[in-house]
Structure 1
Amino acid sequence: MKKRKISLAEMLRRLEEKKLTHESLARDEKDRTWTLNVKRGVAAAFELSWDELSDDAKELGVLLSLFALAPIPWSLVESVETGKNIEQLEGSRVELKDLHLLQGKDSYQLHQLIREFFQLKQAKFNQVVEELKRNFCKVMVEIAKDIPDISTLQQINNVTAAIPHIAEVANNLIQYVSDDDLIWSFLGNARFYKGQGLYDKAAPWYNQCIKITQKRLGEEHPDVAQSLNNLAVLYRLQGKYSEAEPLYIQSLALRRKLLGEEHPDVATSLNNLAVLYSFQSRYSEAEPFYIQSLALRRKLLGEEHPDVAETLHNLAGVYNLQGRYSEAEPFAIQALALYRKLLGYEHPFVAQSLNNLALIYSFQSKYSEAEPLLIEALALTRKMLGDEHPDVAQTLNNLALLYNYQGRYSEAEPLYIQALELKRKLLGNEHPDVATNLNNLAYLYRDQGRYSEAEPLFIQALALRRKLLGDEHLDVAHSLKNLAALYCDQGRYSEAEALYIQALDIFERRLGADHPNSVTVRQNLADLRDRLPPNPE
Structure 2
Amino acid sequence: MGDYSKALEFYEKSHKILEKALPSNHPDLASSYNNIGQVYNSMGDYSKALEFYEKSHKIFEKALPPNHPDLAQSYNNIGAVYNNMGDYSKALEFYEKDLEITKKALPPNHPDLAISYNNIGQVYNSMGDYSKALEFYEKAHKIKEKALPPNHPDLAISYNNIGQVYNNMGDYSKALEFYEKSLKIREKALPPNHPSLATSYNNIGMAYSGKGDYSKALSFLEKALSIFQKSLPPNHPNIKTVTNSIDNVKKKM
- Sort the TM-score into its range (normalised by shorter chain): over 0.9
| Counterpart AA for 1:484 | G
Question: Judging changes above 3 Å, is the alpha-carbon distance between structure 1 residues 293 and 428 closer, same or farther for their aligned structure 2 residues?
Answer: farther
List per-residue Cα deviations over 1:293-332 (Å, max 9, x = no partner): 4333334334322122123223323322332101100111
8 Å contact kept, 1:297–1:308: yes
Partners of 2:108 and 2:147 lie apart in 1 by: 12
| RMSD of aligned alpha carbons | 1.8
8 Å contact kept, 2:95–2:120: yes
Match of 1:92 in 2: none
The aligned runs of 1:465-504 (5 Å cut-off) are 465-504=186-225
Match of 2:240 in 1: 519
Alignment equivalent of 2:66, drawn from 345, 351, 355: 345
Partners of 1:510 and 1:288 lie apart in 2 by: 20
- Shift of residue 362 of structure 1? 1.3
Length-normalised TM-score, structure 1? 0.45
| Counterpart AA for 1:367 | Y
8 Å contact kept, 2:228–2:239: yes
List per-residue Cα deviations over 1:276-308 (Å, max 9, x = no partner): xxxxx7353644443344333334334322122
The aligned runs of 1:333-482 (5 Å cut-off) are 333-482=54-203
| Counterpart AA for 2:19 | R
Match of 2:2 in 1: 282
- Shift of residue 450 of structure 1? 1.9
| Counterpart AA for 1:347 | H
Which consecutive segments of 4 or more residues in structure 1 shift more than 4 A?
Answer: none
Structure 1 stretch displaced more, 307-316 or 410-419: 307-316
Question: Judging changes above 3 Å, is the alpha-carbon distance between structure 1 residues 312 and 471 closer, same or farther for their aligned structure 2 residues?
Answer: same
Task: Specify which structure has the bigger relative contact order, considering alpha-carbon pairs within 8 angstroms and separated by 6 or more residues.
Answer: 2
Residue aligned with 1:449, SS: coil
8 Å contact kept, 2:43–2:233: no
Is 1:322 the counterpart of 2:46? The answer is: no
| Counterpart AA for 1:368 | S
List per-residue Cα deviations over 1:84-111 (Å, max 9, x = no partner): xxxxxxxxxxxxxxxxxxxxxxxxxxxx
Q: How many corresponding residue pairs?
A: 252
Partners of 1:352 and 1:387 lie apart in 2 by: 17
- Shift of residue 354 of structure 1? 0.4
Length-normalised TM-score, structure 2? 0.92
Alignment equivalent of 2:228, drawn from 498, 507, 513: 507
Question: Judging changes above 3 Å, is the alpha-carbon distance between structure 1 residues 321 and 410 closer, same or farther for their aligned structure 2 residues?
Answer: same
Q: Which has the higher helix share?
A: 2
In the alignment, structure 2 segments of 5+ residues that lack a partner are none
List per-residue Cα deviations over 1:173-207 (Å, max 9, x = no partner): xxxxxxxxxxxxxxxxxxxxxxxxxxxxxxxxxxx
Partners of 1:521 and 1:393 lie apart in 2 by: 28
Partners of 1:287 and 1:469 lie apart in 2 by: 25
8 Å contact kept, 2:53–2:78: yes
Partners of 2:191 and 2:7 lie apart in 1 by: 18
| Counterpart AA for 2:232 | L
